[in-house]
């Protein structure tokens, strides 16, 4: 059965976490019935639900690799989940595979009602697919990987940043945070993972790199980037003296991490 995970460093109060999750459940009776039908049916279905809840989106290829299922089994489970209303599949980019995401019903079935469904747009489709591929590569390399939505939910519950960069002030005067696309958790500080497909405005990119360079919540940041985005990142890293804290790697080398200190663990909640 799936579990909810919370960061070890500054982990939220367990009673508060249970209360917060309980408040988000529409009906304990209905939720038990839905989980019994969907999650307990087989381990492959449970693994697909858990991975999509954690990472946010993925194609059948990433799901098959991450969950250890054959392509045939993965396709069959995805069809059943889509027919049951737990999964939504969208193909918005010519020549690219369909992206699968969880609906509200699917998030409840995965025992993750605190998370929001992923919105898939034509402009963001390629980025979501790239993030899924990087997440699958990191998982295949033995890393414990979490997604941006999951991190947002944990930080909301904790009331403070856990693996995000401070990048100035928001319009309301509060501290503006930039959250990474993925986080690698292990026995020490986490490693932030960014997937950079396009070139950001120089000022925006410099502010983000500066925030990562100054952050003491993470061991470091790895950017998996396209060639053009990588060149822009290299300039920002030099201007912000972020060498050693922010590392750029090719998308084709996803799964490799820089030699940062050990990463922080995520024990399961009771």
Per-residue pLDDT of the chain (270 residues; tens, 9 = 90+): 333 333 333 333 434 433 443 333 333 333 333 343 344 368 999 999 999 999 999 999 999 988 888 999 999 999 999 999 999 999 887 888 999 999 999 999 999 999 999 999 998 999 999 999 999 999 999 999 999 999 999 999 999 999 999 998 778 878 899 999 999 998 889 999 999 999 999 999 999 999 999 999 999 999 999 999 999 999 999 999 999 899 999 998 998 888 776 555 554 443
**What is the model's pLDDT at position 213?**
94
Q: What is the structure's pLDDT at 146?
A: 96
Say if residues 76 and 40 touch (Cβ distance below 8 Å): no
Beta strands in 9-65 (DSSP E): none
- Note the pLDDT of residue 38: 44
Cβ–Cβ under 8 Å, residues 190 and 53: no
Q: What are phi and psi of 210, to 5 degrees?
A: -60, -45
Q: What is the structure's pLDDT at 66?
A: 83
C-alpha span between 86 and 114 (Å, rounded): 15
| Helix, strand, coil in percent for the chain, rounding step 5 | 45, 15, 40
Task: Give the residue carrying structure tokens 């959250």.
Answer: 179
Q: What is the pTM of this model?
A: 0.81
Give the span between the Cα atoms of 257 and 103, in whole angstroms: 32
Name the token pair of 70: 């054959």
Q: How far is CA 172 from the centre of its chain?
A: 27
Strand 87-90 versus strand 99-102 pairing type: antiparallel
Give me 178's structure tokens: 């930039």
| Strand segments (E) across 65-156 | 87-90, 99-102, 144-147
What's residue 10's pLDDT? Answer: 34
The two structure tokens encoding residue 97: 């595979």
Which tokens hold the place of 166? 């401070």
Locate 96 and state its tokens: 């690219």
Answer whether 7's CB lies under 8 Å from 266's CB: yes
Domains of the chain and CATH, by start: 24-142 (1.10.10.10), 145-253 (no CATH)
Listed residue (143, 141, 225, 223) closest to 186, CA to CA: 143
Q: Which two tokens stand for residue 210?
A: 């500066």
Residue 10: partners with Cβ closer than 8 Å, 6 or more residues away: 158, 160, 162
């Amino acid at each position: 059965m799936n579990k909810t995970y919370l960061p070890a460093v500054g982990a939220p109060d367990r009673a508060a976490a249970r209360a917060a999750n309980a408040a988000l459940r529409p009906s304990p009776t209905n939720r038990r019935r839905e989980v019994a039908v969907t999650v307990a049916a087989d381990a492959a279905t449970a693994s697909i639900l858990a991975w999509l809840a954690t990472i946010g989106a993925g194609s059948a290829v990433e799901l098959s690799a991450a969950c250890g299922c054959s392509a045939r089994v993965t396709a069959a489970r995805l069809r059943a989940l889509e027919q049951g209303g737990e999964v939504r599949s969208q193909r918005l980019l010519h020549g690219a595979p369909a992206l699968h995401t969880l609906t509200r019903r699917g998030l409840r079935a995965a025992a993750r009602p605190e998370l929001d469904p992923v919105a898939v747009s034509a402009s963001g489709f390629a980025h979501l697919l790239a993030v899924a591929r990087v997440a699958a590569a990191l998982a295949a390399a033995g890393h414990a990987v979490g997604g941006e939505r999951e991190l947002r939910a944990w930080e909301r519950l904790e009331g403070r940043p856990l693996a995000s960069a401070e990048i100035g002030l928001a319009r309301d005067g509060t501290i503006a945070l930039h959250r990474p696309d993925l986080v690698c958790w292990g026995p020490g500080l986490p490693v932030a993972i960014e997937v950079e497909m396009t070139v950001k405005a120089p000022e925006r990119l410099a502010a983000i790199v500066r925030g990562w360079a100054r952050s003491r919540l993470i061991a470091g940041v790895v950017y998996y980037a396209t060639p053009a985005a990588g060149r822009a990142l290299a300039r920002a890293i030099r201007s912000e003296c972020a060498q050693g804290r922010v590392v750029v790697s090719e998308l084709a080398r996803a799964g490799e991490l820089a030699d940062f200190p050990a990463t922080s663990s995520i024990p399961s909640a009771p």
